[in-house]
Structure 1
């Protein structure tokens, strides 16, 4: 049997749908003779009669009915495959816009952009710095970024995420705090300390996670002052007005002489994720996730 020509199959499916070679030609913008020729070629390739011509149009043979049912699936699969291939090609020749807070991504963002541009022909990666998570979310939801690096949970709908790094939790204490000389602490040790909260988080769920509310014993977390930015948290902590929980790597990125960072042994870890919407180029996001995990050494659980 000869290979089936996709053009011939499309012509046959149009005839099967319209039950008329003439009307099929109109739908396909082909002449009646061209459609008839396509069907004959298909019949020769398959070695089976597919149509019975009558004065009122055409009827499908049993073989024709079988081809009409299966052929429609084949054509749809080919069309979907072509769309995916074109999407990948378009993405490779385009720009990937990443939103990121320098405090969360400075350890890998520059290397990541270089690796992606080197490995994907024609790709340009832009790093759009955001002051805090709420800014990142606005860039993402407003269509000004294709993906963002954000600490989970984010909150909000229509978002996808993939974890690319996991970090233990630490607490920032004033150097004058009674626990400042400890090598580590537990949440019970901090049960009376109000937690300072930066007004930058994206949801009430995110705030509860950052301040560890509720605590393991079921009680509420003591809430401290709300301040504009993360940097303001450290100023409040340094003055002895509360404590602040954060991922351990921020200790190196947000140093201050009046604050001591101490590991919290029984608190849930922070997870940094690539976050994206349905508008993002999926092939590039998949590549992005793989490259970040290579750079951070993160292995998904």
Structure 2
């Protein structure tokens, strides 16, 4: 940038936020003199006064207020551009960065990563553990990952996807629940049970799908409490404060207490998908999708449910 030096702009934004050159220096780990110099150089570059220094700190001029309002956007845009540039460089160097929730992908992701590295010369696959779907979406959005494994639907969040596995639905109930000893249940059997909602999903569309809402006949699914995490949800199920409907394989991955995981016979199955961004290396994504489907095998693929 010919007029705005990003170091100077960052220093000014810190001063604008802190209303103090001293405090801005502490935040930036710079000396007070360095921050003052940056701001003065920025003022000279723009030909305007940005700050009025007082005995109690600083005040922003009208020009300073305008720069403070738009400067953070500039810094964020540059950071995102840098991530995109690095993603392109990684693709050329043969790096594929995957985000995954261990409970969802433990049965295949390590084998997939090792097979890809063994069959694609020079490829390096990195795996980043994500706590839940919202965390995966954050890793994709900030450029930390090229692709992730997520249950559909994700929602209208500007991502591409290809389904790779289909799993039946199960309901999780307390061992004291009237249905606890059943091998299978229907959604009608669950009509009066509030469904607990871990605050981990990426959209209202995804929440409705996990609730199996609407139910057969058009009735709304009974909504239970919102809880912070899946683990909190399972603890609440154990205390008979509701049920949870989830992909059946999670029962083996999340063994909390003596909960019962019961197949729901008439609920639409869950599709697990590879989800990726516009900036992901498409040839590697194509290889990834094919390898996941081959690793999972025909008994778990989409045509087997």
TM over 0.5: yes
CA distance in 2, matches of 1:184, 1:282: 41
1:186 aligns with 2:186: yes
* 1:242 and 2:242 are equivalent in the alignment: yes
Give the Å deviation of 1:88.
Answer: 11
SS, match of residue 116 in structure 1: helix
CA spacing shift, 1:90–1:127, aligned 2, 3 Å: closer
> 1:257 Cα shift?
2.8
Q: Secondary structure at the match of 1:291?
A: helix
Distance 1:267 1:92, change over 3 A: same
Does the CA contact (< 8 Å) of 1:99 and 1:149 recur in 2?
yes
What residue number does 1:165 align with? Answer: 165
Q: Deviating runs (4+, > 6 A) in structure 1?
A: 87-90
Q: Is the 8 A contact 1:186 1:267 kept in 2?
A: yes
- Partners of 1:197 and 1:300 lie apart in 2 by 26
* CA distance in 1: counterparts of 2:162 and 2:290, whole angstroms: 10
Query: What residue in structure 2 maps to residue 293 of structure 1?
Result: 293
Q: Which runs of 5+ in 1 are unaligned?
A: 1-86
Residue correspondence of structure 1 range 1-301 to structure 2 within 5 A: 91=91, 93-298=93-298, 299=301
Instruction: State the SS of the aligned residue for 1:99.
Output: strand
1:125 alignment partner, SS class: strand
Q: Deviation at 1:95?
A: 1.0
Residue range with higher mean Cα deviation, 154-163 or 226-235: 154-163
Deviation of the 1:89 alpha carbon: 11
* Structure 1 residues 101 and 279, CA gap change in structure 2 (3 angstroms): same
| Residue segments in structure 2 that go unaligned for 5+ positions in a row | 1-86
Q: CA RMSD in A?
A: 1.7
Which deviates more from structure 2 when the two are superposed, residues 274-283 or residues 149-158? 149-158
For 1:290 and 1:92, locate their aligned partners in 2 and report how far apart those are by CA, in whole Å: 20
Q: CA deviation at 1:296?
A: 0.9
Moved more, 148-157 or 164-173: 148-157
Distance 2:217 2:241 in 1: 24
User: Using the alignment, how far apart are the partners of 1:277 and 1:88 within structure 2?
Assistant: 12
Residues 240-294 of structure 1: per-residue CA shift (max 9 Å, x gap): 0000001110010111233100000000000000001110000000000000000
* CA distance, structure 2, for counterparts of residue 256 and residue 246 of structure 1: 14
Question: Normalising to structure 1: TM-score of the pair?
Answer: 0.69
Mark the structure with the bigger radius of gyration.
1
How many residue pairs match? The answer is: 215
Looking at structure 1, the residues matched to 156 and 103 of structure 2 have their Cα atoms a distance apart, in angstroms, of 22
Shift of 1:159: 1.0
In 2, are the aligned partners of 1:100 and 1:128 still within 8 Å (CA)? Answer: yes
Which residue is equivalent to 1:70? Answer: none
Structure 1 residue 157: Cα displacement: 3.3
User: Which residue in 2 is equivalent to 1:69?
Assistant: none
Q: Secondary structure of 1:111's match? A: helix
In 1, distance between residues paired with 2:264 and 2:117? 38
